């Protein structure tokens, strides 16, 4: 080979040598290069021999490199395990701290992974979209679709395929065991084919099942089948009475997250009496619509097309689309829909968990630094014996990696054991909560965390070791002390940010808890029941049944008052099923025809409703027994409604109408009630009396003692009246109220847990750093005491040192918290993200904890015996 290629070959061989471990190269590299050079010089001439030689060389090198790396790793591991066994306190402490950090992150990641990252368990989930019809001008709620609208969009849209409809209703299902209230999903026949879901038992819906006149069939959800029908394997073919018809069970669905509602059973649109009766009514908007984007269409292009179709319909049917809200149609992908509520909260929690891990890392890095200063002699000896800086670095990283991997294993255990709590926690935020679990991705994440922490914790220590081993000692110690102090301040800063977040969320929760909902929940029992609508068809039947029921309940001992109503405040089902609202006109006001009438929430009640719930009368009168079916119809309105439409004038005596035909006189004004959620203003409400508008689905009972005692009586009263009445909820209003704020409660608990964890780790770190510093400065302390320093002065010195660090950490933490707390804005209720009280209280708490953590070791310093201290060096 020519001279030029000779040197190129050398370079290539040297590059190849880089595959081998550093130590191997250092030991044999030059020798190998020389041997290779000679081998090459002696090689037989010709390309064939040249290629053979290179082939053998490269092949053998590639084969041996992993083996050599493995042997170094095995050696390092054995040595590291020996070193770790020698200091069990340090090893255990570091593993516990890192396990908490990695565990918290793995737990939250398993939620993020299951809810946000994993594809939905539906076929081609990314194509599935949900249509929404809403006000263009006002940000009104999704108003759903009517059957004629669905038919229009099905024929007119070119960007969407397979439009399927869905709505949910409560029906009474009768079986030999009694009446059950079942939440029923009413769907297109191809609904489950659309989602790629096959029944695990029996068959799915067919097109014939949706034709009018088809016999009614039911698909059961897995949960309903398991829990209410004990997983009967022969369920297919059995019949149940529902809505006065026999419904045949045709199959059971597999366990799946259901959206938008957790239904018990599913039927086709043909089987729903309400849907069938209103199939031609364009106003009767109840249905949700799912569709698939056709290939080549993006959500944006489809949105444009849908808005165009909506405009066309508006022109064709002006009476159905009033100008005021200005209807438009848009869409959102199902995945966004399912995770919209959970996403910001989960990302915040993920951030919080990340902070905990950072604090844990800073803490363990400090432990490592402290240990390094004790191992200085050992490292110096190893260095003197020829272990290169690289070798020592590798050894330190191996030690940290072993610690972090052990911590990751423990952390994964912690995360796995918290899965049921996590599911419970995520339940109110997303229908995907039941999918939360651990998989390969969570495992990889934990390993990633472990490697990351090993690098983070180890690099500081390793950097320190590389600089100090050759020179050793005082300068190095000073640098290590500065680094340790910086790490402590960082822990304090991170803890402060977390504590502020937890403080804000908790304060917001407390505000929510203290909100005046407008009613008195204490000692009130709420029961939600449903009269079988097919049995109580006539208004008079309902009136009679309600009167009899109320009489029985009111006569029971301990009952102060009772009422029947079409709903009650904070009813979870009312929130899930939508609000009962109507649009009304005020008599004598000339609204332009194009303007939509004003909306109001409607509630039908018996006269005792206001007394039972403690809603105050503000003007006029409440309902009386004399407000009967035959007498002039009256309503009572809420203060918010009165203020909105009458401002300072009195609405009493004015008349409103919902249908433009029947005019209702306003008899009274009552206080506002937060009906739907405690964090939203009270809706503008119209109350009508049950005698005049018969409808009842709730029984409310105020008792003089624990309302739970009235439960059995109330239940008996309902079932005695009609054993076919299905009771779907019995709770005290206090419980209902507590349930309504369970998501913020869960959030404040998780944030609180992370913050306390962070505080404990950081304060523990501070105390141990001071203790170490005192131990290292024994001699100096001894001398100071010997020359007359008082114990108080020594203690004060160390406390000052600790508090200075805390102060520095607080300063940085304050700036970070101030900048980051606005991320919490959407989760806060009546608390600003920079709430001064929270910021100050958290700072005081952290300062007090730091003070306590400093005093204990600092007092130890004051007890140093000068003679022993001076002699010990």
Tell me how far, at minimum, the Cβ of 36 lies from other proteins, in Å: 5
CB 704 within 8 A of CB 541: no
Tell me how far, at minimum, the Cβ of 51 lies from other proteins, in Å: 14
Rg of the chain taking only CA atoms, in angstroms: 37
Residue with tokens 């929510």: 512
Closest CA to 329 of 566, 152, 507: 152
Binding segment toward other proteins, per CB under 8 A, in 19-27, 131-139, 489-497, 666-674: 19-27
Given the complex with other proteins, which of 36 and 829 has the nearer CB atom?
36
Verify binding: residue 76, other proteins, rule CB under 8 A. no
Given the complex with other proteins, which of 36 and 284 has the nearer CB atom?
36
Verify binding: residue 704, other proteins, rule CB under 8 A. no
Binding segment toward other proteins, per CB under 8 A, in 56-64, 236-244, 353-361, 392-400: 56-64
**Number of shown-chain residues binding other proteins (CB under 8 A):** 23
Verify binding: residue 60, other proteins, rule CB under 8 A. yes
Q: Which of 5, 7, 56, 541 binds other proteins (CB under 8 A)?
A: 56
Tell me how far, at minimum, the Cβ of 61 lies from other proteins, in Å: 4
Tell me how far, at minimum, the Cβ of 71 lies from other proteins, in Å: 9
Given the complex with other proteins, which of 62 and 555 has the nearer CB atom?
62
Verify binding: residue 825, other proteins, rule CB under 8 A. no
Closest CA to 388 of 23, 812, 790: 23
Residue with tokens 């952290």: 846
Tell me how far, at minimum, the Cβ of 72 lies from other proteins, in Å: 11
Q: How far apart are CA 526 and CA 564, in angstroms?
A: 10
**DSSP-derived pairing of the beta strands 524-530 and 698-703:** antiparallel
Residues listed for the chain: 873
Closest CA to 150 of 179, 117, 191: 191
Q: How far apart are CA 204 and CA 193, in angstroms?
A: 8
Q: Which of 8, 11, 35, 575 binds other proteins (CB under 8 A)?
A: 35
Closest CA to 799 of 776, 764, 774: 774
CB 188 within 8 A of CB 269: yes
Given the complex with other proteins, which of 72 and 186 has the nearer CB atom?
72
Verify binding: residue 391, other proteins, rule CB under 8 A. no
Binding segment toward other proteins, per CB under 8 A, in 21-29, 119-127, 630-638, 697-705: 21-29
Verify binding: residue 61, other proteins, rule CB under 8 A. yes
Verify binding: residue 15, other proteins, rule CB under 8 A. no
CB 473 within 8 A of CB 789: no
Verify binding: residue 79, other proteins, rule CB under 8 A. no
Token pair for 117: 């990252």
Verify binding: residue 7, other proteins, rule CB under 8 A. no
**DSSP-derived pairing of the beta strands 634-638 and 664-670:** parallel
Q: Tell me the helices (H) and strands (E) count for the chain, helix number first.
A: 26, 21
Q: Which of 1, 6, 11, 39 binds other proteins (CB under 8 A)?
A: 39
Verify binding: residue 36, other proteins, rule CB under 8 A. yes
Q: Which of 11, 59, 137, 522 binds other proteins (CB under 8 A)?
A: 59
Given the complex with other proteins, which of 55 and 580 has the nearer CB atom?
55
Verify binding: residue 6, other proteins, rule CB under 8 A. no
Verify binding: residue 27, other proteins, rule CB under 8 A. yes
Q: How far apart are CA 218 and CA 238, in angstroms?
A: 10
Q: Which of 1, 7, 18, 28 binds other proteins (CB under 8 A)?
A: 28
Binding segment toward other proteins, per CB under 8 A, in 29-37, 154-162, 354-362, 530-538: 29-37
Q: How far apart are CA 216 and CA 726, in angstroms?
A: 21
CB 785 within 8 A of CB 539: no
Verify binding: residue 417, other proteins, rule CB under 8 A. no
Binding segment toward other proteins, per CB under 8 A, in 22-30, 128-136, 469-477, 514-522: 22-30
Q: Is 644 helix (H, G, I), strand (E, B) or coil?
A: helix
Tell me how far, at minimum, the Cβ of 73 lies from other proteins, in Å: 15
Closest CA to 497 of 240, 823, 255: 823
Residue 809's CB: how many other CB atoms inside 10 A? 25
Cα angle at 572 between 116 and 227, to 5 degrees? 75
Tell me how far, at minimum, the Cβ of 22 lies from other proteins, in Å: 14
Given the complex with other proteins, which of 66 and 308 has the nearer CB atom?
66
Given the complex with other proteins, which of 10 and 734 has the nearer CB atom?
10
Q: How far apart are CA 423 and CA 419, in angstroms?
A: 6
Q: How far apart are CA 407 and CA 430, in angstroms?
A: 30
Binding segment toward other proteins, per CB under 8 A, in 59-67, 277-285, 638-646, 791-799: 59-67
* Residues near 140 by beta carbon (within 8 Å), at least 6 away in sequence: 134, 325
Verify binding: residue 57, other proteins, rule CB under 8 A. yes
Binding segment toward other proteins, per CB under 8 A, in 54-62, 129-137, 249-257, 609-617: 54-62
Verify binding: residue 72, other proteins, rule CB under 8 A. no
Tell me how far, at minimum, the Cβ of 128 lies from other proteins, in Å: 56
- For residue 770, CA distances in Å to 195, 215, 484, 851 come to 61, 80, 10, 12
Verify binding: residue 32, other proteins, rule CB under 8 A. yes
Given the complex with other proteins, which of 57 and 520 has the nearer CB atom?
57
* Residues near 751 by beta carbon (within 8 Å), at least 6 away in sequence: 349, 352, 498, 501, 502, 505, 506
Residue 181's CB: how many other CB atoms inside 10 A? 20
> CB-hemisphere CA count at 13 Å for 558?
16
Residues making contact with other proteins (CB under 8 A): 20, 24, 27-28, 30-36, 38-39, 42, 56-57, 59-61, 63-64, 67-68
């Amino acid at each position: 080979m020519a001279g030029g290629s000779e040197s190129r070959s050398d370079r290539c061989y040297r590059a190849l040598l880089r595959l081998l471990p550093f130590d191997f190269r250092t030991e044999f590299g030059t020798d190998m290069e020389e041997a290779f050079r000679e081998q090459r010089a002696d090689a037989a001439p010709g390309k064939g021999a040249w290629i053979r030689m290179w082939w053998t060389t490269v092949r053998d090198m590639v084969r041996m490199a992993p083996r050599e790396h493995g042997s170094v790793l095995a050696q390092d591991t054995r040595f590291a395990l020996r070193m770790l066994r020698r200091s069990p306190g340090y090893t255990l402490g570091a593993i516990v701290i890192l396990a908490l950090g990695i565990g918290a992150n793995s737990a939250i990641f398993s939620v993020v992974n299951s809810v946000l990252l994993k594809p939905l368990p539906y076929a081609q989930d990314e194509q599935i979209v949900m249509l929404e019809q809403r006000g263009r001008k006002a940000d009104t709620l999704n108003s759903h679709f009517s059957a004629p609208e669905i038919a229009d969009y099905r024929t007119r849209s070119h960007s969407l395929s397979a439009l399927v409809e869905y709505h949910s209703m409560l029906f009474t299902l009768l079986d030999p065991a009694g009446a059950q209230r079942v939440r029923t999903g009413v769907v297109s026949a191809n609904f489950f084919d659309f989602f790629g879901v096959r029944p695990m038992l029996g068959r799915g819906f067919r097109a014939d099942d949706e034709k009018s006149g088809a016999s009614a069939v039911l698909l059961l959800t897995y949960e309903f089948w398991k829990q209410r029908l004990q997983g009967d394997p022969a369920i297919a073919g059995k019949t149940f009475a529902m809505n006065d018809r026999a419904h045949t069970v045709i199959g059971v669905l597999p366990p799946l997250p259901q959206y938008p509602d957790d239904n018990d059973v599913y039927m086709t649109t043909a089987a729903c009496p309400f849907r069938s009766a209103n199939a031609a009514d364009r106003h009767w908007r109840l249905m949700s619509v799912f569709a698939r984007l056709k290939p080549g269409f993006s959500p944006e292009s489809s949105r444009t097309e849908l808005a165009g179709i909506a405009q066309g319909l508006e022109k064709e049917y002006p009476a159905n689309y009033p100008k005021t809200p200005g209807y438009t149609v848009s869409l959102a992908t199902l995945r966004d829909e399912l995770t919209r509520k959970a996403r910001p909260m989960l990302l915040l929690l993920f951030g919080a968990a990340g902070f905990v891990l950072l604090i844990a890392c800073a803490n363990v890095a400090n432990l490592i630094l402290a240990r390094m200063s004790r191992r200085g002699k050992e490292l110096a000896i190893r260095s003197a014996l020829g272990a290169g800086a690289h070798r020592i670095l590798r050894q330190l990283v191996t030690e940290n990696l072993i610690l972090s991997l052990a911590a990751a294993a423990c952390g994964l255990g912690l995360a796995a054991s918290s899965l049921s709590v996590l599911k419970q926690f995520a339940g109110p935020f997303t229908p995907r909560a039941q999918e939360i679990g651990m998989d390969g991705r969570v495992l990889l994440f934990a390993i990633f965390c472990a490697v990351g922490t090993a690098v983070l914790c180890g690099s500081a220590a390793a950097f320190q070791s590389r600089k100090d081993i050759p020179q050793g000692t005082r300068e190095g110690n000073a640098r290590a002390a500065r680094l340790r102090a910086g790490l402590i301040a960082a822990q304090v800063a991170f803890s402060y940010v977390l504590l502020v977040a937890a403080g804000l969320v908790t304060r917001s929760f407390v505000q929510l808890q203290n909100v005046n909902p407008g009613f008195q929940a204490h000692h009130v029992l709420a029961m939600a029941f449903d009269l079988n609508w097919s049995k109580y068809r006539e208004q008079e039947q309902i009136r009679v049944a309600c009167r009899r029921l109320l009489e029985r309940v009111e006569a029971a001992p301990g009952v102060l008052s009772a009422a029947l109503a079409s709903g009650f405040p904070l009813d979870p089902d009312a929130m899930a099923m939508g609000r009962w609202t109507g649009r009304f006109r005020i008599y004598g006001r000339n609204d332009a025809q194009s303007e939509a009438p004003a909306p109001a929430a409607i509630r039908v009640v018996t006269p005792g409703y206001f007394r039972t719930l403690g809603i105050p009368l503000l003007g006029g009168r409440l309902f009386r027994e004399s407000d009967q079916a035959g007498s002039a119809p009256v309503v009572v309105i809420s203060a918010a409604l009165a203020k909105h439409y009458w401002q300072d004038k009195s609405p009493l005596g004015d008349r409103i109408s919902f249908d433009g035909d029947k005019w209702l006189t306003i008899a009274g004004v009552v206080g506002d009630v937060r009906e739907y959620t405690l964090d939203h203003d009270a809706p503008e409400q119209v109350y009508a009396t049950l005698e005049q508008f018969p409808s009842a689905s709730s029984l409310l009972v105020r008792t003089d003692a624990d309302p739970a005692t009235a439960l059995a009586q109330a239940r008996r009263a309902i079932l005695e009246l009609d054993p076919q009445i299905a009771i779907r909820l019995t709770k005290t209003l206090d419980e209902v109220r507590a349930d309504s704020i369970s998501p913020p409660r869960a959030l404040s608990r998780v944030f609180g847990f992370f913050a306390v964890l962070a505080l404990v780790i950081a304060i523990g770190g501070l105390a141990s750093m001071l203790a170490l510093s005192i131990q290292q400065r024994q001699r100096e302390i001894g001398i100071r005491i010997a020359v007359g320093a008082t114990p108080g002065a020594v203690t004060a010195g160390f406390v000052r040192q600790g508090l200075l660090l805390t102060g520095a950490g607080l300063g940085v933490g304050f700036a970070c918290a101030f900048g980051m707390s606005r991320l919490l804005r959407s989760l806060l209720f009546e608390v600003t993200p920079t709430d001064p009280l929270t910021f100050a209280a958290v700072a005081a708490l952290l300062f007090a904890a730091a003070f306590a953590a400093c005093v204990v070791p600092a007092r130890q310093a004051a007890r140093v015996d000068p003679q022993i201290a001076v002699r010990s060096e």
